[in-house]
Structure 1
């Protein structure tokens, strides 16, 4: 779909968004109904808006990834995980989030990719409405015991505090990843990305990156210690 324009743009985009979110909810309900709960059952896979949720048998062999409490097979006996990121554009959040998604079965939320799917400009005012609806969805998933990954970088302390409170209310484990990458390295990566953009990536100018850096509130060890798990990715 191309960029939506014209006097009816807002209505068309909102209707499209509602339809996409309805399809996601339908897929989630179907996946919950198909959840594997008996030892020895074969693995199943559900495709939910491009997020691959592997439903492995509880009787399968354990691995290092079992340390991470993700996936439908864990929901009946353990708490889900809310994974959130803090990092600027170009710090590696998307690459890492996709790896975690593939390895753990958690459902990944990327606002940029949803904007691309809907054919909406990344900086359109519809972004705020989309963010509200996506927030409702991931909270619903967490409440049903499904682990989620919030790929969007949380730059402000108050955002991270709010997410941690939500996770606590829903009895979820909190895991924060802080991507500490120098400005020069961020801009080097973004220049390469801007020259060869991949699907769902936002073009970032040096001025926009500088503005983002000014807005970033870096988490200190005191804040990181408030999470159940914390990982600092240093370059």
Structure 2
């Protein structure tokens, strides 16, 4: 039996993690969990405190652990701004015998600004000011990871995901 796979999408608000993670989950037939949805379920009117963030990541990672333990592939979509949260995701994958891949989604500043300012029905509450603040405090990714540049078209992004992530997974 093949090992389950955990794919952790991380990056700043507005870079396109949700589009990339949705595509990946669909292609793999994986379960997908978004921190924005988990947070809103736990805190319908969130204040974005550190306590809420801890509870959100605890729930998000708990859902991943359950599915991975059952042999289901999982795609997580969150900023994973802090190294401790990324470390916990890797530890969970190790504990349940899953493969783990981190994918950092990046995007040109002007594209992020346009995307955030044109959102109309997004579950995310992030504004461009939060993007700028988080950019200053985002812990560097010091683990092996893939980088997807989501500055261009959706087709360009999907092609990057296909080449860097999905083709290697299909051959395992």
TM bracket, shorter-chain basis: 0.7 to 0.9
Q: Which residue of 2 aligns with 1:51?
A: none
Give the structure with the higher percent helix. Answer: 2
CA shift in 2, pair 1:92/1:173, >3 Å: same
- Asked if 1:108 is matched to 2:108, the reply is no
CA shift in 2, pair 1:190/1:121, >3 Å: same
Q: Distance in 2 between matches of 1:117 and 1:158?
A: 23
Q: CA deviation at 1:118?
A: 6.4
Q: Which residue of 2 aligns with 1:159?
A: 85
Q: Distance in 1 between matches of 2:110 and 2:118?
A: 13
Q: Which residue of 1 aligns with 2:155?
A: none
Q: CA deviation at 1:130?
A: 4.5
Larger radius of gyration: 1
- Asked if 1:231 is matched to 2:146, the reply is yes
Q: Is the 8 A contact 2:38 2:60 kept in 1?
A: no
Deviation by residue 1:157-201 (Cα, 9 ceiling, x = unmatched): 3322232122112111111111122333221211111xx233x22
The answer for unaligned runs of 5 or more in structure 2 is 152-172
CA shift in 2, pair 1:102/1:217, >3 Å: same
Q: CA deviation at 1:132?
A: 2.5
Q: Which residue of 1 aligns with 2:10?
A: 86
Q: Distance in 2 between matches of 1:150 and 1:166?
A: 13
Q: Which residue of 2 aligns with 1:214?
A: 136
Provide the aligned length of Structure 1 versus Structure 2: 148
Q: CA deviation at 1:212?
A: 0.7
Give the root-mean-square deviation of aligned CA atoms: 2.3
TM-score of the pair, normalised by structure 2: 0.74
Q: CA deviation at 1:203?
A: 4.0
CA shift in 2, pair 1:165/1:203, >3 Å: closer
Higher RCO structure, 1 or 2 (CA under 8 Å, sep 6+):
2
TM-score of the pair, normalised by structure 1: 0.56
Q: Is the 8 A contact 1:97 1:108 kept in 2?
A: yes
- Asked if 1:141 is matched to 2:67, the reply is yes
The answer for unaligned runs of 5 or more in structure 1 is 1-76, 225-229
